[in-house]
């Protein structure tokens, strides 16, 4: 064993920690708790979801009950409110539990309800993060990331004087992307320099914090509407100047509500923009497939989802075998999207680049374009 790069103690470079016992009790305690609680739910008629082992559903002819557990925090909802009272009484009889009432705060996420639906935000978490970074009184900025690379000074390439603070802030920003999809690309980019951050990387993070200062009230709105799945898929091409890899970005909507999004650097270098976009289509198709199964676990069956892409060649590749000769280098698993299209389980449509919502997950954008998307 050796100390990892970026965390080496200069005074004791050869020493490592030996763990005698898990700091918060036995390592198997969470597993034992989940096993006991899930067994109790199964005895009450619940069924564990195949898509998410923490999700339990009970469906009867008259009602449906949904329970989600995260370690020892539980969310419970049902179409029959009387059964909620009955189930809570049964849980109190089997476990030492505390009822907190209607949902308003969960895992640092604030939940407010109104006639428009539910609004999820992390404004308190953002305020604490700004204080931690010493930027509680900073001036706000209009976008999280610079659209054009500016001329750098010699100091920009120096090592960050406090790399631990950089890692701590960026780690906090990662959790913030749960309710702030507008931060996904910038945070993903900042995470790529955790091992050895430079002065210019810390300056980029400070700009991101200034953007947060001006958008404390941002979050996710969930409103009633038709429960149909549709998604936007996009990719840049060789956008990373260090390794020339492309970035995949997608966002999935359930009706008018954004429910899933991702920014991720592709594992290999794409030889063309078509290949990069096609890989992004495959990842998005897999996410749509998973969400479709999750909805079926909740006893809701939606129609074939629509996937929007701004690359005509990638769309053609997903449904036309003629392109095979020019795409032999693409891994077989990425042709999963072609199987979905052939089985009519997925419809891929073209959308102009100017209206491609997923572009926000793959590129730093101008302020006007960022606000529009």
Residues 283 and 361 in one domain: yes
Residues 110 and 84: their CA atoms lie apart, in Å, by: 22
Residues 291 and 160 in one domain: no
Domain of 198 in residue numbering reads as 121-213
Q: What is the three-class DSSP state of 99?
A: coil
Residues 255 and 300: their CA atoms lie apart, in Å, by: 13
Residues 230 and 368 in one domain: yes
Residues 208 and 252 in one domain: no
Residue 239 lies in a domain: yes
Mean of the per-residue pLDDT values for the chain? 89
**Cα angle value 6/11/14 (rounded, 5°):** 70
Q: Does residue 364 contact residue 146 with C-beta atoms inside 8 Å?
A: yes
Between helix 184-191 and helix 199-213 the angle, nearest 10°, is 160
Q: Does residue 349 contact residue 307 with C-beta atoms inside 8 Å?
A: yes
Residue 221 lies in a domain: no
**pTM over the 0.95 mark:** no
Residues 317 and 179 in one domain: no
Q: Which residues of the chain have pLDDT under 70?
A: 21-28, 148-154, 321-329, 333
Residue 220 lies in a domain: no
> What pLDDT sits at residue 24?
57
Residues 78 and 86: their CA atoms lie apart, in Å, by: 11
> What pLDDT sits at residue 5?
85
Residue 126 lies in a domain: yes
Q: What is the three-class DSSP state of 232?
A: strand
Residues 345 and 236 in one domain: yes
CATH code (residue 273): 3.30.420.10
Residues 246 and 344 in one domain: yes
> What pLDDT sits at residue 325?
58
Residues 156 and 196 in one domain: yes
Residues 341 and 240 in one domain: yes
Q: What is the DSSP string of 191-215?
A: HTTSSS-BHHHHHHHHHHHHHHHTT
Residue 41 lies in a domain: yes
Q: What is the DSSP string of 24-89?
A: TS-TTHHHHHHHHHHHHHHHTT-EE-SS-TTEEEEE-SS-EEEEEEETTEEEEEES-HHHHHHHHH
Residue 20 lies in a domain: yes
**Domain end (from 37, 70, 101):** 101
Among all chains, which residue has been given the structure tokens 């500016």? 150
> What pLDDT sits at residue 203?
92
Domain count, the chain: 3
């Amino acid at each position: 064993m050796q100390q990892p790069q970026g965390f080496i103690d200069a005074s004791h470079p050869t020493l490592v920690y030996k763990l005698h016992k898990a700091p918060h009790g036995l390592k198997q305690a969470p597993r034992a708790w989940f096993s006991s609680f899930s067994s109790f739910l199964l005895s009450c008629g619940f069924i564990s979801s195949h898509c998410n082992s923490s999700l339990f559903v009970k469906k009867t002819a008259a009602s449906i009950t949904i329970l989600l557990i995260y370690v020892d925090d539980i969310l419970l909802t049902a179409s029959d409110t009387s059964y909620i009272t009955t189930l809570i009484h049964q849980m109190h009889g089997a476990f030492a539990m505390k009822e907190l009432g209607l949902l308003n705060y969960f895992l640092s996420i604030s939940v407010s309800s109104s006639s428009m639906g539910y609004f999820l935000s992390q404004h308190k978490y953002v305020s604490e993060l700004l204080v931690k970074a010493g930027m509680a009184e900073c001036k706000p900025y209009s976008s999280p990331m610079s659209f054009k690379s500016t001329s750098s000074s010699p100091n920009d390439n120096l090592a960050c004087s406090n790399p631990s603070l950089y890692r701590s802030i960026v780690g906090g920003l990662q959790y913030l992307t749960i309710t702030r999809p507008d931060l996904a690309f910038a945070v993903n980019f900042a995470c790529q320099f955790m091992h050895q951050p430079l002065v210019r990387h810390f300056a980029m993070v400070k700009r991101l914090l200034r953007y947060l200062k001006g958008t404390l009230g941002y979050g996710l709105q969930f409103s009633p509407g038709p429960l149909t799945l549709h998604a936007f898929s996009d990719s840049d091409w060789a956008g990373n100047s260090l390794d020339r890899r492309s970035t995949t970005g997608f966002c999935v909507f359930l009706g008018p509500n954004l429910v899933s999004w991702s920014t991720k650097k592709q594992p290999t270098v794409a030889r063309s923009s078509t290949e990069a976009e096609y890989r992004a289509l495959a990842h998005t198709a897999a996410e749509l497939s998973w969400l479709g199964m999750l909805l079926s676990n909740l006893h809701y069956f939606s129609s074939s989802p629509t996937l929007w892409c701004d690359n005509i060649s990638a769309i053609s590749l997903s449904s036309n075998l003629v392109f095979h000769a020019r795409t032999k280098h693409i891994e077989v698993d990425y042709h999963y999207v072609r199987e979905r299209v052939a089985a009519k389980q997925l419809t891929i449509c073209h959308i102009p680049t100017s209206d491609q919502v997923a572009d926000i997950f793959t590129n730093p954008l101008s302020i006007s374009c960022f606000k529009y998307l």
